Structure 1
Amino acid sequence: MTDGDWRDDDPALRRTLAAAGLSATGRFVPKAGWVSRVWVGDEYVVRLNNNGQFRGAYRHEAAVVELLAGSEVPHAQHLAHGDGPDGPWYVSERLPGRTLYDAWPAADSRTRQAMIESLGAALRALHRVPVPADLLPPWLVDALAGKPWPAFHPPVVSATLQQVEAASRVPGHDSRLLADVSDWIQERLPLFAADVPVLVHGDLHGSNVIVDHGRVSGLIDFAEALAQPADVELDTILRWCARAREFPPTPDEQGLDETTLAEVPGWLRGAYPELFEREQLRERSNFYDMYGELALYAHHPQADIREAAQYRIARLLSGHNHLDGLTW
């Protein structure tokens, strides 16, 4: 479905605005998305999730945004959320600017660096926000409890061995490979023993950052936010830099050219060096990657995706991952 398929007088939009107690006047521009239908208005943004996969995502996001109150984290204010005949909905203020994904291609190197340095400052502020140590999205709680997996990231360190057990129940699994993976994980779990969980966005890439005049005006979409070690944030950011074509804003669009993101890790490191100062950061990154591949191997419904994950798991055991060749 393209943007043009949705009109700004869509009845679902009008019903959602009415439920939120907001005026339906003004123009709303419909936008496509992976999960939600989105309308961008002059003053606020309306999102509607009608696929039913991410239980409690908007309620969770509202709770996370409440944690941000009074912090230095740039973000969109939550206005209202609820459940209606068209599905769960969420309304927030509209931030000035546009997504980093949209702004990136035309920006010069100096502006790109300024945006990434601003992102580093935003992340430092985010990771300083007090957070309950057990914060997890409800849909992820469901997945870890044995229900279907609507998404396979962000990593949850304490649940990594659980994914090995889940994979061992998949017909045709490679038991020798999983035995090696179990040993590999247990050898590395001590790397995380002293970690203090912080508030992690969990899905930070070009489409979830709003920029305006060369600075971040807001982080958006906290549906995957959770309490984990701070460098979990790097799992998605560096994956985006290394494999940007896999992160288009919608299924019908193209991701950015990875070569244009080559300097992002260095710029981010300069702005937020503490994020990169963990001992054995490469091994920690491999661990987060292993979690994601195991989740795919154990839970993805498509056999070819599971097979590809098995191959990448074997590469991880030999010391290679998706960040090979990326300077960070």
Structure 2
Amino acid sequence: MCDQSTPFVDETAVDPALLRTLVAAGLPATGCFLPKAGWVSRVWVGDEYVVRLSNGQFRDAFRHEATVVSLLAGSEVLRARHLAHGDGPDGPWYISERLPGRTMHEAWPAADLATRQAMIESLGVALRALHRVAVPAGLLPPWLGDALAGEPRAEFHPPVVSAALQQVEGARRLPGHDSRLLADVADWIQERLALFAADEPVLVHGDLHGSNVIVDQGRVSGLIDFAEALAQPADVELDTILRWCAKAREYPPVPEGRGLDETTLAEVPGWLHGAYPELFEREHLRERLLFYDMQRELALHAHHPLPDIREAAQGRIAVLLSGHNHLDGLVW
């Protein structure tokens, strides 16, 4: 073990990328850092701060995250304070303070029922605070703008209501697309756009699940990873949260990891509803959530580089047109 006064002499010290990033940020190369894997970033968790080094897959993601976190200044939103970010020879980097505790994904399996409920109820409080933050109406991650413009991507992204028909057009540019299916989708979307006409955009996290929530002593100590944050209706937040509850095994913290058992999340929607009821009280909520899910599937169908993933998304689109998806088994 080493402490804060110990220079880097352990195994983490031999990683020159970490050292270069700390130097670039003007931070001392002392203390212990635990290397952790991530989906698109290398991560080192230190005693006082967390260092992330991106593979560059998401254009300007860290710059966007820094912008979003600056919007939270003076608010009651629980989050990790931004310390520095930049671009270096190893790629884009971002450094934030370390929050107390660990991810909800890590804490969940050993937590008893009362502790799990307390964590979700405090998440509801944290989300309400987030959705009260003033936000520019057009706030959008640069990489998401690229995706909506048709750039191939291996990931889905948060729904953007105004871009729904644009995504249908993207799917129509695919060779061998099902023109009848996409015509039905376009009509389906047109029929539902009026549901969103009176919406006020708020700041939504956009990727909220167990790995992006830090908990300590049974309560949320902060939300992390705002690279997908954007201005959209508040119930867009439910798109990821409820999918996580229904398909938790698809949300491992790292590519080769394991997601949670969905049966342990069965009470989460009800607990969240109790803590933040207005998030669930939008008229025609079920139809709105189906609309958001349709955008996710269209994004995969139109932009994913792998044909089998695109084909699977097309099958789920057909199911959505019939009014069904993963929400069928959830209760809130």
Contact 2:204–2:231, Cα closer than 8 Å, also in 1: yes
Contact 1:53–1:150, Cα closer than 8 Å, also in 2: no
Q: Which residue of 1 aligns with 2:249?
A: 245
What is the aligned residue count?
322
Contact 2:152–2:305, Cα closer than 8 Å, also in 1: no
Q: Distance in 2 between matches of 1:24 and 1:100?
A: 29
Which residue identity lines up with residue 160 of structure 1 in the other structure? Answer: A
1:213 aligns with 2:220: no
Q: Which residue of 2 aligns with 1:108?
A: 112
1:80 aligns with 2:93: no
**Among 178, 182, 190, the residue aligned to 2:182:** 178
Q: Which residue of 2 aligns with 1:284?
A: 288
Structure 1: gaps of 5 or more residues:
1-5
Q: Distance in 1 between matches of 2:297 and 2:61?
A: 23
Q: Distance in 1 between matches of 2:152 and 2:310?
A: 15
Q: Secondary structure of the residue that 1:186 maps to in structure 2?
A: helix
TM-score (norm 2): 0.96
Q: Which residue of 1 aligns with 2:268?
A: 264
Following superposition, the deviation at residue 145 of structure 1 comes to 2.2
Q: Secondary structure of the residue that 2:100 maps to in structure 1?
A: coil
Q: Which residue of 1 aligns with 2:28?
A: 23
Q: Which residue of 1 aligns with 2:7?
A: none
- CA displacement, residues 258-314 of structure 1 (integer Å, 9 cap, x when unaligned): 000000000000000000000000000000000010111111111111111111001
Q: Which residue of 2 aligns with 1:320?
A: 324
Contact 1:126–1:199, Cα closer than 8 Å, also in 2: yes
Contact 1:131–1:198, Cα closer than 8 Å, also in 2: yes
- CA displacement, residues 227-251 of structure 1 (integer Å, 9 cap, x when unaligned): 0000000000000000000000001
Contact 1:140–1:149, Cα closer than 8 Å, also in 2: no
Cα root mean square deviation, aligned: 1.0
CA 1:135–1:7: 2 relative to 1, 3 Å: farther
Which residue identity lines up with residue 18 of structure 2 in the other structure? Answer: L
Which residue identity lines up with residue 175 of structure 1 in the other structure? Answer: S
- CA displacement, residues 150-188 of structure 1 (integer Å, 9 cap, x when unaligned): 532100000010111111110111100011110000000
- CA displacement, residues 184-226 of structure 1 (integer Å, 9 cap, x when unaligned): 0000000000000000000000000000001100000000000
Query: Runs of 4+ in structure 1 displaced over 6 angstroms?
Result: none
Q: Which residue of 1 aligns with 2:49?
A: 44
Contact 1:293–1:313, Cα closer than 8 Å, also in 2: yes
Q: Distance in 1 between matches of 2:11 and 2:162?
A: 45
Structure 2: gaps of 5 or more residues:
1-9
Q: Which residue of 2 aligns with 1:35?
A: 40
Contact 2:154–2:303, Cα closer than 8 Å, also in 1: no
Following superposition, the deviation at residue 147 of structure 1 comes to 2.5
